[in-house]
Structure 1
Amino acid sequence: MSSSSRATKRSKNLIPMSNMIGTRSISTCLQMPAAPNSPFRVSWQACSTQTSFSFCISPRCQLSLVPHPTPKDNNCTRTFEELRERTRKELLTPANPSASLKFIDSIQRLGIGYHFEEEINMLLERFVDWNAGQDLLATALRFRLLRHNGFPACSDVFNKFKDKDGKFNQSLSKDPLGLLSLYEASYLGTEEEVELVQAMEFTRTHLQKISIPLFSPQDRCQVFQALEIPRHLRMSRLETRNYINEYSMESNRKPTLLDLAKLDFNAVQLVHQKELVEIIRWDLSAMEPLPEYMKICYMALYNTTNDIAYMVLKQHGWSIVPHLKRTWIDMFEAFLAEAKWFNNEYVPSLEEYLVNGVTTGGTYMALVHAFFLMGQGVTKQTVAMMEPYPDLFSFAGKILRLWDDLGTAREEQERGDVASSIQCFMREKGISCEDEGRKQVRQLIRSLWIDLNGELVAPSSMPLSIINASFNLARTAQVVYQHGDDKKGSSVDDQVQALIYKPISLGDMKQDCV
């Protein structure tokens, strides 16, 4: 497949993801469309009864739209379309290659890249054969942007920064921002790319040693964040929220770009808020043969699945009920397998556990739904790749399952749940120390990321949109579960508030670097 076709432009009119139930993080897995400004926001309200208009889930709550004052910022009078057009013109204005790469990087980090995909793809196509010489920062940035966006990029471009013994030159330690750029690029490596494994070890070691005065406060913040979670592993929408804050503090920021990013984030946030309201408005019909709680569950699932299938059929002409139905049947059968393991006190092998756990985690169900709802690259060939599920989904699902276990295994074991991947791994490898088992599981996650990166360069006909959705599912898992029960870093509640409920002020923002 050509690089241009792999970097196919995303649709700006995606079907709302509110129609996907049972997929806790799927709305954050996709690039959402911009929505017009609206004087509404979503709030939580106590809920003690079920009505025909809302459905309560744990924690018991009800979502409703309540008035939200429209921002009155005199400094932001330009319309969204004007800001977008000014940004498009600046993006297409000839500039030196390094500046163009940095501009593209900023646009994508700010979450507005989907407005300019055609222009960005055209520019990146020109960078495929561009050589940045001995500029480490530009070389690594070019590599990362090309690979991230589905264009060919060879890791041997970094060999020019090595000495005669095949090791990276120690003199690179004098270029801290170049090291940071190489460090970020190294996380997109595949199994065969030894250069990037070496680059990761070399840059991490030197970034940890570099004297603080060599960095500005903003650069120092980026280094701390990268050493904790490199950008390739971060949840895209949360990264957008954080980077808007950081970008507003940069001395060379572009006001037009910053205002556009703020307006777009709030517009996308509004889409998420409206969809949360729609998710709980299920039409619940009676199912006489079933107990009351099963009637609710069955009809919610039945109606929602058919609603999704109808929308896709109406918009694209594809009949997808069998595919959606299969994902739910597979998940229920996987839950049944876990129940049998528990009742028989059976501890499966790690591989047996993971194969089943990808299904119970909802990965296949979520990504198959996303594939059809996004509607990009859906052909007879790609539909056939849904059976059996593609490796792309399996790698992402295993990462989700393993992070879930790292975050919740202790609590689940205390209440007597089935053995987690940690216990399976310890039993299989003869490890007695749980901390060592957790360490090994984290290493397995890193190996799975290398496998997942391989999907970016594989000669696959899978569209880039579903590849990105799979990556974002894996990223979301790390954000949700990485700290487990400890209180380090931002809580999931804080992150949900930032993503869904708290709009970005159109005025000045304070820097927040933790």
Structure 2
Amino acid sequence: MLTKRRPRVACCVTGAPERVRSFQPSLWADFFVHYEPELGQISEECMRMQADKLKKDVDLLFRTVNTRVVEKMTLVDALQRLGIDHLFQERISKALQEIHMTDFNSCSLYEVGLRFRLLREHGLWVSPDVFNKFKCQDGSFTKDITTEPRGLLSLYNAGYLSINGEPELDEAITFARHHLESMRGGLKYPLSEQVKRNLEIPLPRNLKKIDAPYYIAEYEQEQACNTSMLELAKVEFNLLQRLHQQELHDFCQWGNNLYKEVGLSYSRDRIVELYFWSYTVHYEEHHGHARTILAKVSVLVSLLDDTFDMHATLEDGRKLNEAIQRWDDDAICVLPEYLKMYYVKLTNTFNEIEGELKQDHKYRVGYCRKAFQTLCRHFQLESEWFHNNDIPSFEDHINCSVISTSTPTICVALLLGMGDEATEETFKWAIGCTDAVKACGQVARFMNDMAAFEHGKNKMDVACSVDSYMNQHHVTSEVAIAVLDNLVEDAWKTINRARFEQRSLLPILNRVASLSKSMAWLFRDNIDRFTFSSGNKEKIKQQFIDPIPL
């Protein structure tokens, strides 16, 4: 989202310049400040009472499927895809442990694939050998399964939970995709829609809250539909939507005021989109504080990014970097006039966040400040490369630009407002840019750079990772893009592996995985849906404006 590659503007004036014309203005402006949703026929109080009753009904389902593994898996999968699994975390965790420990000898490809995906998603190891029963002696899949669309879709999605060194799962994806594409025209709803959506974005890489409204409509048509689960999914979606509307009202007021006060008219006005991005990481009701803090830090990061990319001279950038590394009130004197208010708002916002945290959580702001300073240094390094017309080696480029995606900084910021599950150990893990955090940055960097390159370049563009690879290895852009595409796949496998190697951090890893999914969603099909935000409008409307009919 914050990783665009756009023309830098070498401007020497000290006042704030005119907005760059290539940027779309905000699609939302103060829409959510004045928005008054229709309350409908059911009050929020009635919906909460209904949700409480439905939760009890669904809770009873875990007892009725106590000894039936397939029904237990189906229950967990439906809860996740309906977007209400956060209401039953303890029940689901216990059920998955039981599924993992129980002997499972099903000959159904659908069931074997479902078990594989569910367990691996939750950091429970399953060998890819479970699919050997569906293969011939030469290692190829049997023809029998090529007429089973549900089984093939289950195999296809399971394959995306692979780690490095599992080529058989890569082969499974290719095999399943081929046959699913060939039979798409003959499938009936709702399976036809699920295949279509999953071929665009595999289920393990899709954002749960983005997919939930579609699955709710599809689940209603399924024979095995449980009415209590269906109604709870609808009510919970609408209750969360009302909460997010209230938060958006307050956040847009804060953000719009900030943009006016800092006066950096060259920056992208994406207040609603930044809240949406934070929401994809923290959507639950009890994470409202974490969601708002993350959104505020993201606004400050976006303004810093646009300053280095769109306006600051080399000297301006050096002064801004110096001030941010010093991080004290006296540092403001080194800044050009147009950046002083931004610096004031930056430090004041961090102070305000610290003031909102519990006493034993205040140390967290120090980690976020350090991550922000690291990000600024890497923005400055890219600026030095640009102004000196340098194309760094591919390795040097990635070492810098994975940080400059801002995702490693966001991985620290997303922990700030979380409860006690975010420990100092998790902050040390995040700020160390360990494998999963680095992989998140790689997904963002490579997908963004491929999108930017596909849209064409001009002489004022910053060298991207595609340029560095082409320059170092003397290859065509097609070869470079193919290499980067493979590196994206390797990054996803690194994130998958982290679930097993660092299972104690699984709740945090899942947030990092959601961040990776949001970056992949924003840049899919080589489109930057943050900078060119019209591509994101319908999803924002779906999540924050349109309720699900009850």
Q: Give the TM interval when normalised to the shorter protein.
A: 0.7 to 0.9
Residues 398 and 271 of structure 1, relative CA distance in 2, 3 Å threshold: farther
User: Using the alignment, how far apart are the partners of 1:384 and 1:446 within structure 2?
Assistant: 26
Deviations 1:439-470 (A, max 9, x none): 33222211221222111221x26522221111
- Structure 1 unaligned segments of length 5 or more: list them: 1-21, 25-56, 507-514
Secondary structure in 1 matching 2:342: helix
Residues 211 and 364 of structure 1, relative CA distance in 2, 3 Å threshold: closer
Could you tell me how far 1:231 is from its partner in structure 2? 0.6
User: Using the alignment, how far apart are the partners of 2:528 and 2:375 within structure 1?
Assistant: 30
Corresponding residue for residue 133 of structure 2: 160
User: Using the alignment, how far apart are the partners of 2:503 and 2:92 within structure 1?
Assistant: 21
Q: Work out which of the residue numbers 109, 132, 152 in structure 2 matches 1:136.
A: 109
Corresponding residue for residue 68 of structure 1: 37
Secondary structure in 2 matching 1:497: helix
Q: Work out which of the residue numbers 472, 496, 500 in structure 1 matches 2:540.
A: 496
Residues 147 and 65 of structure 1, relative CA distance in 2, 3 Å threshold: farther
Corresponding residue for residue 53 of structure 2: 82
Residues 23 and 276 of structure 1, relative CA distance in 2, 3 Å threshold: farther
1:252-331 counterparts in 2 under 5 A?
252-279=224-251, 280-281=253-254, 289=333, 290=335, 293-314=338-359, 316-331=360-375
Aligned partners of 2:411 and 2:430 also within 8 Å: no
User: Using the alignment, how far apart are the partners of 1:503 and 1:293 within structure 2?
Assistant: 42
The reply on whether 1:474 has 2:516 as its aligned counterpart is yes
Corresponding residue for residue 45 of structure 1: none
Corresponding residue for residue 440 of structure 1: 483
> What percentage of aligned pairs have identical amino acids?
27
Residues 274 and 416 of structure 1, relative CA distance in 2, 3 Å threshold: farther
Indicate the RMSD between aligned Cα atoms, in angstroms. Answer: 2.9
Residues 139 and 226 of structure 1, relative CA distance in 2, 3 Å threshold: same
1:47-196 counterparts in 2 under 5 A?
61-62=29-30, 63-72=32-41, 79-94=50-65, 96-130=68-102, 131-196=104-169
1:29-48 counterparts in 2 under 5 A?
none
TM-score for the superposition, normalised by structure 2: 0.74
Aligned partners of 2:153 and 2:176 also within 8 Å: yes
1:377-416 counterparts in 2 under 5 A?
377-409=421-453, 413-414=457-458, 416=460
Corresponding residue for residue 413 of structure 2: 369
User: Using the alignment, how far apart are the partners of 1:423 and 1:100 within structure 2?
Assistant: 50
Residues 412 and 357 of structure 1, relative CA distance in 2, 3 Å threshold: farther
Aligned partners of 2:449 and 2:466 also within 8 Å: yes
User: Using the alignment, how far apart are the partners of 1:256 and 1:414 within structure 2?
Assistant: 56
Aligned partners of 1:334 and 1:356 also within 8 Å: yes
User: Using the alignment, how far apart are the partners of 2:185 and 2:160 within structure 1?
Assistant: 24
- Structure 2 unaligned segments of length 5 or more: list them: 4-24, 263-328
Could you tell me how far 1:477 is from its partner in structure 2? 1.4
Residues 208 and 66 of structure 1, relative CA distance in 2, 3 Å threshold: closer
Write the letter of the residue equivalent to 1:240: A
Secondary structure in 2 matching 1:183: helix
Residues 227 and 67 of structure 1, relative CA distance in 2, 3 Å threshold: closer
Write the letter of the residue equivalent to 1:66: Y
Write the letter of the residue equivalent to 1:107: L
Secondary structure in 2 matching 1:165: coil
Residues 105 and 172 of structure 1, relative CA distance in 2, 3 Å threshold: same
Residues 415 and 218 of structure 1, relative CA distance in 2, 3 Å threshold: farther
User: Using the alignment, how far apart are the partners of 1:445 and 1:471 within structure 2?
Assistant: 13
Corresponding residue for residue 16 of structure 2: none
Q: Work out which of the residue numbers 462, 470, 475 in structure 2 matches 1:418.
A: 462
Corresponding residue for residue 43 of structure 1: none
User: Using the alignment, how far apart are the partners of 2:205 and 2:184 within structure 1?
Assistant: 26
User: Using the alignment, how far apart are the partners of 1:376 and 1:166 within structure 2?
Assistant: 47
Secondary structure in 1 matching 2:190: helix
Which region of structure 1 is more displaced relative to structure 2, 84-93 or 117-126? 84-93
Aligned partners of 1:161 and 1:169 also within 8 Å: yes
Deviations 1:382-421 (A, max 9, x none): 3432452221111011101112222334568337221112
Could you tell me how far 1:346 is from its partner in structure 2? 0.8
Write the letter of the residue equivalent to 2:93: N
User: Using the alignment, how far apart are the partners of 1:427 and 1:114 within structure 2?
Assistant: 47
Corresponding residue for residue 200 of structure 1: 173
User: Using the alignment, how far apart are the partners of 2:234 and 2:172 within structure 1?
Assistant: 35
Which region of structure 1 is more displaced relative to structure 2, 154-163 or 58-67? 58-67
The reply on whether 1:246 has 2:218 as its aligned counterpart is yes
Could you tell me how far 1:436 is from its partner in structure 2? 4.4
Deviations 1:203-227 (A, max 9, x none): 22222334744x3221122222222
Residues 387 and 476 of structure 1, relative CA distance in 2, 3 Å threshold: closer
Could you tell me how far 1:342 is from its partner in structure 2? 0.6
User: Using the alignment, how far apart are the partners of 1:318 and 1:155 within structure 2?
Assistant: 44
Write the letter of the residue equivalent to 2:523: Y
Residues 500 and 86 of structure 1, relative CA distance in 2, 3 Å threshold: same
Corresponding residue for residue 313 of structure 2: none
Write the letter of the residue equivalent to 1:456: R
Which region of structure 1 is more displaced relative to structure 2, 379-388 or 149-158? 379-388
Residues 485 and 386 of structure 1, relative CA distance in 2, 3 Å threshold: closer
Corresponding residue for residue 9 of structure 2: none
Residues 261 and 403 of structure 1, relative CA distance in 2, 3 Å threshold: same
User: Using the alignment, how far apart are the partners of 1:304 and 1:142 within structure 2?
Assistant: 45
Aligned partners of 2:454 and 2:526 also within 8 Å: no
More helix by share: 2
Could you tell me how far 1:256 is from its partner in structure 2? 1.9
User: Using the alignment, how far apart are the partners of 1:469 and 1:211 within structure 2?
Assistant: 33
Residues 61 and 151 of structure 1, relative CA distance in 2, 3 Å threshold: same
Secondary structure in 2 matching 1:217: coil
Corresponding residue for residue 237 of structure 1: 209
Aligned partners of 1:247 and 1:258 also within 8 Å: yes
User: Using the alignment, how far apart are the partners of 1:296 and 1:177 within structure 2?
Assistant: 57
Aligned partners of 2:184 and 2:195 also within 8 Å: no
Could you tell me how far 1:318 is from its partner in structure 2? 4.8
